[in-house]
Amino acid sequence: MSLTAGLPGQLPGQMMDQPLLVSALLAHAERYHADTEIVSRTIEDGSLHRYTYADAARRARRLAKALARLGVRPGERVATLAWNGYRHFELYYAISGSGAVLHTVNPRLFPEQIAWIINDAEDGVVFFDLTFAPLIEKLAPQCPAVRHWVAMSDRAHRPSAAIPRLGCYEDLLAAEDDDYAWPQFDERAASALCYTSGTTGNPKGVLYSHRSVLLHCYASCLPDVFGFSARDCILPVVPMFHVNAWTIPYSAPMVGAKLVLPGAALDGPSLCELFEAEGVTFTGGVPTVWQGILQHLQKTGGKPTTLKRGVMGGSAAPPALMETFARDYGVQIDHAWGMTELSPLGVYNREKRKHGGLDDEARRALAAKQGRPPFGVEMKIVDAQGRTLPNDGEAVGELLVRGHWVVGQYFNVGAPTLRDGWFPTGDVGSIDADGYLWITDRAKDVIKSGGEWIGSIELENLACAHPAVAQAAVIGVAHPKWDERPLLVIVPKTGQRPSREELLAWYEGKIAKWWTPDDVVFVEQLPLTATGKISKLQLREQFRDHRLPGAAGG
Ligand code: ADP
């Protein structure tokens, strides 16, 4: 965190000292990509709203003035509970650009958790989409410090719910003009706050700076990462309340790409409709979102005509899913790993020049890995004693990272977050000599069998490659002899009913025999977390008493 002091005798550089500020991104897009569109599916009636970067910039300036009129001070936290849409986009810039802190709250969390987060962040104003009016009605009495609750709508759609100190977004804007200059300040100032979902314990806040966001944004646009350009049309399915939608609301204006914001409709049919209608070239989401897109395409026999690339992250990307998109639809999906604490980019999977000659199998094995770090992220793996393990693609240990956009300390948490200057991620994996990371598990999901570890991700990936399997999860279940043994939980493809024996036989020759799950259960759907990932916590709860065959007395 500390600034490095100069060495004796050094000369100061003589270049302009312009701070890296979030507002500069929108100012850039307004100047040089004025007529590039932002298209949003509205919450009011699902119709499409369409305007340009120039329009968005003008409205963001009016909103910055409205925030000042509401008494928002620099450094104060202003929350949003909102889908991906143009008003949310404007809030991203008006709040951070005026020197306050954008606090994106995940509306899918439990109401008690949301109230806890709003109070912990000490949000002065909360903006919300109409969908969440009933939720806000419940939250308001628990959050007395919130001075204003603002519905993100026009007057005609203002909610009738009993919400105290209720304002209306379009009324606030109507009262202002756009004669406003974005203030200049230290780039190390906080720009945004995002809480981790807190699957165990209370959620923890990560406070991004303008500098960390801008550097992350530059890195994410590199050709070996998202590779965005002014010829792209980007649809972030990943919500703007989840790690700033992987910073796409910042990187799209940075490069002048068209932006398509899908609102609340994140199902396969609605997304595919937008892909075609708007000419989307790139999209990104967690595996369950891609699964929904695939199911729709397979059902309708449709084929995306403009979508060529995408990213899958947030949890391990099943190779079979990526391969199907590449083979059947010509869509190249890259695997990426990150977390809220990394803004979120940690690694991204693109091949190197030397991989040009790889055969299909080696290429598949490489693509299954999470990827390698762009400049700006360093990683290492350590053993239980904290000793650094070799980057040989074999040794497996806890993953530690550091870099320009990695958390230094959690918000409002006194205890140190770092270990010797490194952030412990809680993920477990290996790193090969080329820097490719292979996550075997989250530390808390690892299956501990007879003192050895079984990584659930590889077992899930293999199961997903079975032709009758739509989704798979592997969890550890108590076993009297081995402590834990793997249980395979399967959602079969529609109309398919593979047998337990057939699925277990599928693993033969593909993994060490003792890794083979002890049992298989079939379910209609898997429980999801607030960020749309398969919830291992809930699954473990659900199958806590599952009796494994042969586990006498277990
Ligand atoms: P949340 O825990 O709220 O879902 P994060 O997005 O911060 O929020 O979750 C980060 C975690 O998600 C990582 O620590 C890792 O365990 C998991 N993860 C993210 N991307 C991948 C990936 N490509 N492969 C495996 N695990 C992943």
Taking the CA of residue 309 as centre, how many other CA atoms within 13 Å lie in the half-sphere pointing to its CB?
Answer: 16
pLDDT at 452: 86
Name the fold adopted by 447-542: GMP Synthetase; Chain A, domain 3 (3.30.300)
The beta strands (E) that lie in 218-305 are given as 233-236, 258-261, 282-285
The first and second tokens of residue 211, run together, are: 């500098």
pLDDT at 3: 60
The first and second tokens of residue 495, run together, are: 């109309």
Mutation pick for ligand 1 pocket among 337, 399, 423 (CB with most ligand atoms within 8 Å): 337
**Identified catalytic residue from 299, 444, 448, 481:** 448
User: What is the CA(34)–ligand 1 centre distance, in A?
Assistant: 35
**What are phi and psi for residue 519, nearest 5 degrees?**
-155, 165
Sequence spans of domains, the chain: 23-265, 447-542
Q: Per-residue pLDDT for 217 more than 80?
A: yes
The first and second tokens of residue 438, run together, are: 């292979």
Task: Look at residue 441 and give its three-state secondary structure.
Answer: strand
pLDDT at 554: 39
- Mean pLDDT over 432-438 rounds to 98
Which has the minimum average pLDDT: 330-339, 444-453, 482-491, 493-502?
444-453
Four-residue CA torsion sign, 516, 517, 519, 522? negative
C-alpha–C-alpha distance, residues 72 and 386, integer Å: 45
Q: Per-residue pLDDT for 6 more than 60?
A: yes
Q: Per-residue pLDDT for 223 more than 90?
A: yes
Torsion of CA 205, 80, 531, 97, to 10 degrees: -70
The beta strands (E) that lie in 226-307 are given as 233-236, 258-261, 282-285
C-alpha–C-alpha distance, residues 414 and 395, integer Å: 33
- Mean pLDDT over 109-132 rounds to 96
153-190 tens-digit pLDDT = 999 999 988 999 999 999 999 999 999 999 999 999 99
- Mean pLDDT over 536-545 rounds to 94
Q: Per-residue pLDDT for 1 more than 50?
A: no
Name the fold adopted by 23-265: Rossmann fold (3.40.50)
pLDDT at 463: 96
* Residue with more model confidence, 349 or 3: 349
- In this prediction, residue 2 has a pLDDT band, given cuts at 50, 70 and 90, of low
The first and second tokens of residue 457, run together, are: 């991700």
pLDDT at 444: 87
Q: Does 337 sit in the ligand 1 pocket, CB within 6 Å? A: yes
Atom of ligand 1 nearest to the CA of 196: 3
- Mean pLDDT over 535-543 rounds to 94
User: What is the CA(314)–ligand 1 centre distance, in A?
Assistant: 4
448 is catalytic: yes
269-316 tens-digit pLDDT = 999 999 999 999 999 999 999 999 999 999 999 999 999 999 999 999
Q: Does 399 sit in the ligand 1 pocket, CB within 6 Å? A: no
513 is catalytic: no
**What are phi and psi for residue 254, nearest 5 degrees?**
-60, -40
Taking the CA of residue 15 as centre, how many other CA atoms within 13 Å lie in the half-sphere pointing to its CB?
Answer: 3
Q: Which residues contact residue 402 at a Cβ distance below 8 angstroms, ignoring those fewer than 6 apart?
A: 377, 378, 418, 421, 422, 423
Residue with the smallest CA separation from ligand 1 atom 24 is 316
C-alpha–C-alpha distance, residues 11 and 456, integer Å: 53
C-alpha–C-alpha distance, residues 503 and 524, integer Å: 17
- Mean pLDDT over 437-442 rounds to 94
Of residues 454, 216, 455, the one with CA closest to residue 336: 216
307-330 tens-digit pLDDT = 999 999 999 999 999 999 999 999
pLDDT at 415: 80
Task: Find out whether 339 and 290 touch, Cβ atoms under 8 Å.
Answer: no
pLDDT at 451: 85
Please report, for residues 301, 324, 431, 533, the alpha-carbon distance to residue 538 in angstroms, rounded to integers and kept in the order given. 34, 29, 30, 11
Torsion of CA 257, 217, 413, 123, to 10 degrees: -30
Atom of ligand 1 nearest to the CA of 336: 23
Please report, for residues 61, 74, 87, 150, 178, the alpha-carbon distance to residue 173 in angstroms, rounded to integers and kept in the order given. 9, 20, 11, 12, 9
Q: Per-residue pLDDT for 200 more than 70?
A: no
The angle subtended at Cα 328 by Cα 327 and Cα 329, nearest 5°, is 100
User: What is the CA(426)–ligand 1 centre distance, in A?
Assistant: 10
10-62 tens-digit pLDDT = 999 999 999 999 999 999 999 999 999 999 999 999 999 999 999 999 999 99
C-alpha–C-alpha distance, residues 131 and 43, integer Å: 7
351 is catalytic: no
Task: Find out whether 404 and 212 touch, Cβ atoms under 8 Å.
Answer: yes
**Identified catalytic residue from 36, 80, 104, 196:** 196
Mean pLDDT of the chain: 95
